Amino acid sequence: MAAYLLRRLIQAALILLGVTFITFVLLYILPADPARQIAGRSATVETVENIRQQLGLDQPLYIQYGRYLEGLLHLDLGRSYLQKTEVATLIAARLPATLLLMVGAIVCELAIGLSMGLFAAMRRGGRIDQSLMVVSFVAVSAPQFVVGILLLYVFAVYLGWFPIGGYGTFSHLVLPSITLGILGAGWYSRMMRSSMIDVLRQDYIRTARAKGLGPTTVMAVHAMPNAILPIVAMIGIDIGYFMSGIVVVESVFGWPGIGQLAWQAIQRVDIPIIMGVTLVSACAIVIGNLVADLIAPLIDPRIKLR
């Protein structure tokens, strides 16, 4: 186990190194010139050149990248070109909001997805099953910005149940969490349905029924726990999906997370922020996957970590 963990951690470090390298090269070959963005339109060519030198942007790629890695070793993500603030400060200020939104989304996708899958499996082949599967199909295919705006119109503007965007209380969290979680809910309902159908066919369920247990007990005690476990193991992998979703969801709902930060930085070619957010997202995905892999054998002893 320890050896496995060590190997995985080394792999994780290499993946992150790769991510920084690819992002750095992509930003390097970008035609937009950050020095010109900083200098403003009244600047002369000399001023722009001067800023380029100060930021080290006149250096060849490998030196710039080396400097960035050196900073990373000291946990220094650099300073924003335009805000002049430390990137670590900016990310730290926004990370809690993003994490909260992810937790909300996980709760939503499990609650909605698992219950839909459960009902569908129990009424397999019936109308409920069919209509639930159509709903899940829609949930998987709907673009997040459409879902977000729709929920906002109906539940915040029209019905007035929730605030119109923003951050702070529990009720602010509900609509963005549903928007971010609905895609996962669609997947999970399908997985839960087939997993449940699978379990219900097993011999031990027949045994449970045969010994005279009621249908509710069979479902709740014997079938559900076994059907849910393999699905729970997938949550770690969802973090990757969430990372791409937060950019949209945070913009629609005015949620002050790192997705908004990244989007605004991209528009302004604020490279240190783009690098920082990419790195933090990559870390989250790597950790999510690692946790998912570590949990798997706990759930299913047939899986061995090697």
Partner 1 sequence: MKRVLLASAAAMAIAAASSAAQAAGEIVITYKDDVSTLDPAIGYDWQNWSMIKSLFDGLMDYKPGTTELIPDLAESYEISPDGTTFTFKLRPGVKFANGREVTAEDVKYSIERVVNPETQSPGAGFFGSIAGYDEMSGGEADSLSGITVVDPMTVEFKLSRPDATFLHVMAINFGHVVPREEVEKWGADFGKHPVGSGAYNLTEWTLGQRLVFEKNQDYWREGVPNLDKITFEVGQEPTVALLRLKNGEVDIPGDGIPPAQFLEVKDDPEYKDRIVEGGQLHTGYITMNVNTKPFDDVRVRQAVNMAINKDRVVRIINGRAVPANQPLPPTMPGYVDDYEGYAYDPDAAKALLADAGLADGFETEMYVMNTDPNPRIAQAIQQDLAAIGIKVDIKSLAQANVIDAGGNGTAPMIWSGGMAWIADFPDPSNFYGPILGCDGAVQGGWNWSWYCNEELDAMAQKADAMTDPAMAAERETLWGEIFLKVMEDAPWAPVFNEQRFTIRSARMGGDDALYVDPVHIPVHYDAVTVTDAQ
Point out which residues bind partner 1 (CB under 8 A). Answer: 31-33, 36-48, 50-51, 54, 79-80, 82-85, 89-90, 93-94, 97, 149, 152-153, 156-157, 160-172, 250-257, 260-261, 264, 267-269
CA neighbours within 13 Å on the CB side: how many for 201?
A: 8
Rounded to a whole number of angstroms, the minimum distance from the CB of residue 27 to partner 1 is: 13
Q: How far apart are CA 5 and CA 1, in angstroms?
A: 6
**Smaller CB distance to partner 1: residue 196 or 284?**
284
- Closer Cβ to partner 1, 81 or 242, answer by number: 81
Q: What does the alpha-carbon distance between residue 171 and residue 30 come to, in Å, rounded to a whole number?
A: 41
Greatest C-alpha distance within the chain = 87
Minimum CB–partner distance for residue 254 and partner 1 (Å): 4
Task: Name the minimum Å distance from CB 65 to partner 1.
Answer: 22
42 or 141: CB nearest partner 1: 42
Cβ-based nearer residue to partner 1, 175 or 183: 175
Task: Give the C-alpha separation, 133 to 146, whole Å.
Answer: 20
* CA-based torsion, 61, 67, 71, 73: positive or negative: positive
**Based on CB atoms, which residue is closest to partner 1, 89 or 217?**
89
Residue 208 C-beta: closest distance to partner 1, Å: 27
Question: How far apart are CB 211 and partner 1 at their closest, in Å?
Answer: 31
Shortest separation between residue 183's beta carbon and partner 1, angstroms = 20
Q: What is the dihedral of CA 204, 207, 211, 216, to 10 degrees?
A: 50
Q: Residue 57: what residue type?
A: L
Which residues fall within 8 angstroms of residue 34, CB to CB, at 6 or more apart? Answer: 55, 57, 81, 269, 270, 271
What are the distances in angstroms from CA 194 to CA 71, 97, 200, 203, 228?
Answer: 49, 34, 10, 17, 11
Which residue's CB is nearer to partner 1, number 121 or number 173? 173
Task: With CA atoms as reference, report the closest residue to 200 among 171, 160, 227, 168.
Answer: 227
Q: Which residues pair with 79 in a beta bridge?
A: 86
Helix axes 87-122, 170-200, angle to 10 degrees: 40
- CA atoms within 13 Å, Cβ hemisphere of 105: 27
Distance CA 83, CA 99 (A): 24
Cβ closest to partner 1, residue 240 vs residue 254: 254
- Would you state the structure tokens that stand for residue 159, as one six-digit string? 């019905």
- Identify the DSSP state of 159: S
Question: Closest distance between partner 1 and the C-beta of residue 96, in Å?
Answer: 11
| Beta carbon nearer to partner 1, 36 or 209 | 36
- Report the nearest approach of partner 1 to the CB of residue 98 (Å): 10
